[in-house]
Chain A
């Protein structure tokens, strides 16, 4: 950015004094001649320009230690701002933007009736005040799970859901959590019973999906049964006639779509980083972030750390799966363990309960299926509101960001060959700067 020199300031001041001294005697012939000349206008414009620049420069607290940004860096910063976030459609859910579905979904999201012990709702683990996480090592629903609760902020931007991406839509994810014995532990027929017999939900369902759920259809359907239920529940599920099973599946899929519609409205608000990004892109500089935060940002978007390679876009996630050395073979090895289930899931994008056309299911159709290549891979998590979402990693193994940074800083040559990570040489001060920056998100 252009910056006026000291001598230019001095000349500017001298010129101003000269004009002012002439103007004291307004009848001075030299002043009158000058006043009506074009040069006068030019001088005044030049004075305003120089003085405004001087004021702007003096207003910067870091004039002696200014951090410069290249055009490439500014473009990257722009791409990370919430202003660059576009709505992502979900063709598999036709009620995604339906206000009635959003309202219905919000009730379901917060209702502990959707659990076998009557104590677990979606909001039990996804707490608004905690960045829609629970700050626990692993989720605690009906019992302790195996994975850390991911945030729901901007979750509708993702292509895959859960840490291993075992679901390809938000509604299929919601249904999976409801049925999971470690989460809601609510069987498929229990959900069907609830939606049919609960007067409020029955009415809500009819308003959104245009179909009344009749209690007659409950005849012969066991109270607790489902493909993900315990053994007795599974046996009972298998005995239900195919036509009735299809009806139950359609109803629970629809209710899950309503939950997904509500969850899709959970979005990040503008942060200090966003305000900085908007200002620095417009003006070339900004003092909204501190020097340490800016240095952290510079490192974050540089190839010295390569953070930006995976934590890209306004949600700070490339939505893809990577092996960063956190998988545990034979215990929890991420994407490679679920890929077959993803392909054959009846609730996936190509399934009969999806509203999408087959040609809209590109992510599923072309997803990588090589289990060897996917070994140890987990989805890149968003970094938005990271100050509220501790502990970190898929199993919550790191209680703070210092431990996370230590993980990346300690990648050895051998570890780099085994994982997707390069060797990262960042000292303690740089790690602190990176953390300072992350806390602005």
Chain B
């Protein structure tokens, strides 16, 4: 009886932890910029969904080996995008800033209003080196 009870409780624990794991699974996608100057990883704390503000950040690395050691915290990044199939843009105007704490670019105010195919464009402006590039992420919510 005791053995059965332990087995039963263990199976519940396993189920709950697997559910919690699904909910907390981060969302990640990595793309190279159009001029192949940057490798950009977009990382969100949980799977992308509609109707809620997303907790996401960008990790940007230079692809060019000679610039690889350069600090990339001086970039100015603007965001655009939307749903091409519905001819509309993003429902909000997110802001992207460098975070000294996380050493990443934080995306604040990002939200999706509908399920379906979305595209996000990040316009990278490196004023110090006079470089402009763009990286795009296509995904389905």
Contact = CB atoms under 8 A, between A and B. Distances in A.
Interface of A: 303, 308-310, 312-313, 318-323, 362, 365-370, 373, 416-422
Nearest to B82: A373
Contacts of A308: 115
Given A366-B94, A366-B95, A373 B115 contact: no
Nearest to B115: A309
Contacts of B90: 368
Nearest to A373: B89
Contacts of A418: 87
A191 B58 CA distance: 51
Contacts of B113: 310, 318, 320
Interface string B109-133: 1010111100000000000000000
B88 A309 contact: no
A313 B50 CA distance: 10
Contacts of B51: 312-313, 318-319
A267 B95 CA distance: 35
Contacts of A417: 87
Contact of B109 (A321, A362, A419): A362
16 contacts: A303-B116, A309-B116, A310-B113, A312-B115, A318-B113, A318-B114, A320-B113, A362-B53, A365-B109, A366-B93, A366-B109, A367-B93, A417-B87, A419-B87, A420-B86, A422-B85
B26 interface: no
Of A322, A366, A369, which is in contact with the most chain B CB atoms at under 10 Å from its CB?
A: A366
B68 interface: no
The 8 lowest CB-CB distance pairs between A and B, nearest first, are A366-B109, A320-B113, A309-B114, A366-B92, A420-B88, A420-B86, A320-B91, A318-B113
A416 B85 CA distance: 9
A72 to B, nearest CB: 11
Contacts of B93: 366-370
Contacts of A369: 93
B50 A318 contact: yes
Contacts of B91: 320-321, 368
B108 interface: yes
Contacts of A419: 87
Contacts of A323: 88
Contact of B88 (A313, A318, A319, A322): A322
Interface of B: 50-51, 53, 85-95, 108-109, 111, 113-116
B87 A416 contact: yes
Nearest to B88: A420
Contacts of B111: 366
A172 B68 CA distance: 52
A108 B51 CA distance: 32
Of A309, A313, A321, A422, which is in contact with the most chain B CB atoms at under 10 Å from its CB?
A: A309
Contacts of B85: 422
A370 B92 CA distance: 10
A245 B51 CA distance: 37
A422 B113 CA distance: 16
Nearest to A421: B86
Nearest to B85: A422
B45 to A, nearest CB: 16
A367 B92 CA distance: 5
Given A318-B51, A322-B88, 4 more contacts: A309-B116, A318-B114, A368-B91, A417-B87
A117 to B, nearest CB: 40
Contacts of A416: 87
A141 B68 CA distance: 67
A322 B111 CA distance: 15
Contacts of B94: 366
A308 B95 CA distance: 29
Contacts of B88: 322-323, 373, 420
A366 B108 contact: yes
Contacts of B87: 416-420
Contacts of B50: 312, 318
A309 B93 CA distance: 20
A8 B88 CA distance: 56
Contacts of A370: 89, 93
Nearest to A323: B88
B86 A368 contact: no
A438 B133 CA distance: 47
A422 B115 contact: no
A422 B108 CA distance: 29
